[in-house]
Structure 1
Amino acid sequence: MKAWRDSPLRGLLGIAHPILQAPMAGAQGHELAVAVAAAGGLGAVPCALLKPEQVREEVAQFRRLAPGQPLNLNFFCHTTPAPDEAREQAWRLRLRPYYLELGVDPEGPIPVSNRNPFDAAACVLVEELRPEVVSFHFGLPEPALLARVKAAGAKVLASATTPAEARWLAARGVDAVIAQGSEAGGHRGVFLRDEVYSQIGTFALVPQVVDAAGGLPVIAAGGIADERGIRAALALGAAGVQIGTAYLLSPQAKVSAPHRAALQDRERVEVTALTNLFSGRPARSVVNRLMRELGPLSDAAPAFPLAGGALTPLRAPSEARGSGDFMSLWSGQAAALARAGDAGEVTRAWAAALDSEA
């Protein structure tokens, strides 16, 4: 397969195979990144939920266990919402019956749900750690910060969910565009418009982004979980693929027991939906009780990332019962195609299958 062997991502990112491990905040650390990197792909560490000292430790462990391999540090570029006490209280009232059912004080304190947007402090961290790749979700940081990231030597990747977003990213100097289709698990990378009902599927999106990106390499993401999906993405013009959900069954992933059980249930994982209940921003999850009873998309949920705070007290008592009813179960639509096994071995198997056709 000529496109596989000749992918510009090999030279651009310093990888043997144009397979990128999707950064999955809360579901992985350096262990998954190391396994994929050792197999010739690009490992990633998601930084949105980590404090600076935690990022430093993750990078140190990666450098120790995968010496000489490139690393992608991923950041969010959302705008922190203004406090809205009335909306927060209305959301707690909506969840009150579940608090009472699980024996949780509905008037008790709740933690603040936070995801850190890329800022000057994060930029200093990039300049200190000098990752080979930095990727962004929900757009890009302000131009001055982006220029500093590039000056630090990092190649810049960013997600686009529409051709318009791809053109916007290309005009601002990214090195490659990740075309995230609606099939992808986790949060939508949307940043120019919010209408999730108009989301484009991966295999309709990829050739449009290829046309819109001005010659930049395009990385297909969403609904890809085996060599058939990789082959299809390459046939449509992608230079490589970014894969997330298919790695969550590996021992290197750090998903909760209920989340792993849901992903292993082949019938259950066939039913996913976009929901804003767990964070305030649409993301694809296996459908659970909360999504069925409140509806997957609710105007009552506070803005991203605040919605998750009021759900946090419900998670521990329900998880203790083996239930994933009150937690996000992020999953793409191709999870039923994923094979369980070591992330490195799975990556090598995909590469071997495609190499044999080249």
Structure 2
Amino acid sequence: MLTQFGMSIPLIAAPMSGGPTTPAMVSAATQAGGLGLLAAGYKTVEAIEAEIKTVRAAGIPFGVNVFAPNPLPVDPNDYHAYAAIIQREADQFGLTLPPEPIEDTDKFDEKIALLVDDPVPMVSFTFGIPPGTVIAALRQAGSVVVQTVTTAEEAAQARDAGVDMLAVQAAVAGGHSGTLTPRRPLTPVPLVDLVEQIVATVGLPVLAAGGLATPGAVADVMRAGAAAAVVGTVLLRATESGASATHQAALTNPARTETVLTHAFTGRPARGLRNAFIDAHEAEAPLGYPALHYLTTSLRKAAAAAGKPDYVHLWAGTGYRHATAEATSDILGRLASDL
């Protein structure tokens, strides 16, 4: 199914929302023989439309990743208690945080309407499985539809919903987990084992994601039956990366010695470099997405701009030490060197 994308190396640049993935990174990944996906999460419809136009002008295949609604409502009392604590952190930046929970769908319906009216070669979903009518409409428009899953059970659900391919994500992946059940602890199954299990039981092509930062790791998942490997963290310091300077610097800071799963920043499990914010708030943070995401957004942006990494969501997978400051094409070429 990936043959239609003309890939000469089985590598996909992960759609990293919040800034790291840029149209330049998407274009560079595809021009290097792989494939790039734009990240529609947290963007306006107009912004993603403009990014699609930019990449399309290069005349290359690409994809778009969309957050599918899978609400994780926050208890209002828990939100108010946590907001009062986080406001004290925000005071140093002169910020006023949202006093009430903000619950929305990240403009899901509008983004789907755009992608049906102006189709792109690939559309992938994360967080939730969209309705079958949405999947069918995108496929009818000519898009290959991919669903992010984290277990064999989720993979079977996605297959039954009618998707074409699966992005199988291990718990070691950086950024948000695509788990469909964010209230349950993530199960740390090695990616190779997860890929083998899903390839054997579900019968759809698999894109393997999570902790893939070396040529050997990429080769291992390909041998396990993956159709391609998805890499994200290893591209955070790439020439084309839009990650903040604060985030990029933290990846090389010898004092940042581990990644941890946290819901303190967004109310949904995500993996990042351990920092003071996580240490201070993980135990008291409620679950609740996107309410906690909106609660902490302005604080995180202000801290990144001020060069204060201990208040920033330093999303990173376990292979973060392999992130290098060079062109996306060079990084992908090296990752494909053992194939």
Same fold (TM over 0.5): yes
User: Are the structure 2 counterparts of residues 321 and 132 from structure 1 closer, same or farther at C-alpha, using a change threshold of 3 Å?
Assistant: closer
Structure 1 residue 87: Cα displacement: 2.8
Partners of 1:71 and 1:278 in 2: CA distance: 30
Cα pair 2:15 2:37 within 8 Å, conserved: yes
- SS of 2:211's partner is coil
Bigger mean CA offset, 276-285 vs 167-176: 167-176
Partners of 1:312 and 1:331 in 2: CA distance: 18
User: Are the structure 2 counterparts of residues 13 and 158 from structure 1 closer, same or farther at C-alpha, using a change threshold of 3 Å?
Assistant: farther
Structure 1 residue 265: Cα displacement: 2.4
User: Are the structure 2 counterparts of residues 256 and 193 from structure 1 closer, same or farther at C-alpha, using a change threshold of 3 Å?
Assistant: closer
Corresponding residue number in structure 1 for 2:125: 136
Bigger mean CA offset, 149-158 vs 306-315: 306-315
Q: Percent identity?
A: 29
Cα pair 1:277 1:308 within 8 Å, conserved: no
Partners of 1:63 and 1:154 in 2: CA distance: 14
Cα pair 2:175 2:317 within 8 Å, conserved: yes
Structure 1 residue 84: Cα displacement: 4.8
Corresponding residue number in structure 2 for 1:260: 248
* Equivalent residue runs for 1:340-355 within 5 Å: 340-351=325-336, 353-354=337-338
Q: Which among 262, 273, 280 is matched to residue 293 of structure 1?
A: 280
Structure 1 residue 217: Cα displacement: 1.4
Partners of 1:172 and 1:239 in 2: CA distance: 20
Partners of 2:163 and 2:301 in 1: CA distance: 41
Partners of 1:105 and 1:193 in 2: CA distance: 29
Corresponding position: 1:282 with 2:269 = yes
Counterpart residue type for residue 343 of structure 1: T
Corresponding residue number in structure 2 for 1:4: none
Cα pair 1:177 1:213 within 8 Å, conserved: no
Structure 1 residue 311: Cα displacement: 2.3
Corresponding position: 1:212 with 2:197 = no
Partners of 2:16 and 2:157 in 1: CA distance: 24
Counterpart residue type for residue 265 of structure 1: N
Corresponding residue number in structure 1 for 2:77: 86
TM-score, normalised via structure 2 length? 0.91
The number of residue pairs the alignment matches comes to 338
Corresponding residue number in structure 2 for 1:200: 189
Partners of 1:77 and 1:308 in 2: CA distance: 15
* Equivalent residue runs for 1:102-113 within 5 Å: 102=92, 104=94
Partners of 1:195 and 1:109 in 2: CA distance: 27
Counterpart residue type for residue 275 of structure 1: T
Structure 1 residue 233: Cα displacement: 0.8
* Equivalent residue runs for 1:244-255 within 5 Å: 244-255=232-243
Corresponding residue number in structure 2 for 1:5: none
Structure 1 residue 211: Cα displacement: 1.4
Structure 1 residue 166: Cα displacement: 1.2
Cα pair 1:185 1:332 within 8 Å, conserved: yes
Cα pair 1:220 1:233 within 8 Å, conserved: yes
Corresponding residue number in structure 2 for 1:126: 115
Corresponding residue number in structure 2 for 1:51: 44
Q: Which among 6, 10, 19 is matched to residue 18 of structure 1?
A: 10
User: Are the structure 2 counterparts of residues 246 and 276 from structure 1 closer, same or farther at C-alpha, using a change threshold of 3 Å?
Assistant: same
- Structure 1 unaligned residues grouped into runs of 5+: 1-7
Partners of 1:340 and 1:105 in 2: CA distance: 33
Corresponding position: 1:335 with 2:326 = no
Bigger mean CA offset, 44-53 vs 305-314: 305-314
Structure 1 residue 58: Cα displacement: 0.1
Corresponding position: 1:241 with 2:229 = yes
Structure 1 residue 267: Cα displacement: 5.5
Partners of 2:8 and 2:170 in 1: CA distance: 25
Cα pair 1:140 1:146 within 8 Å, conserved: no
Bigger mean CA offset, 41-50 vs 335-344: 335-344
Partners of 1:254 and 1:111 in 2: CA distance: 30
User: Are the structure 2 counterparts of residues 72 and 255 from structure 1 closer, same or farther at C-alpha, using a change threshold of 3 Å?
Assistant: same
Cα pair 1:134 1:157 within 8 Å, conserved: yes
Give deviations 1:207-237, integer Å, cap 9, x for gaps: 11111222x2111111101211111111222
- SS of 1:307's partner is helix
RMSD: 2.4
Structure 1 residue 56: Cα displacement: 1.1
Counterpart residue type for residue 263 of structure 1: L
Partners of 2:201 and 2:254 in 1: CA distance: 36
Partners of 1:309 and 1:83 in 2: CA distance: 12
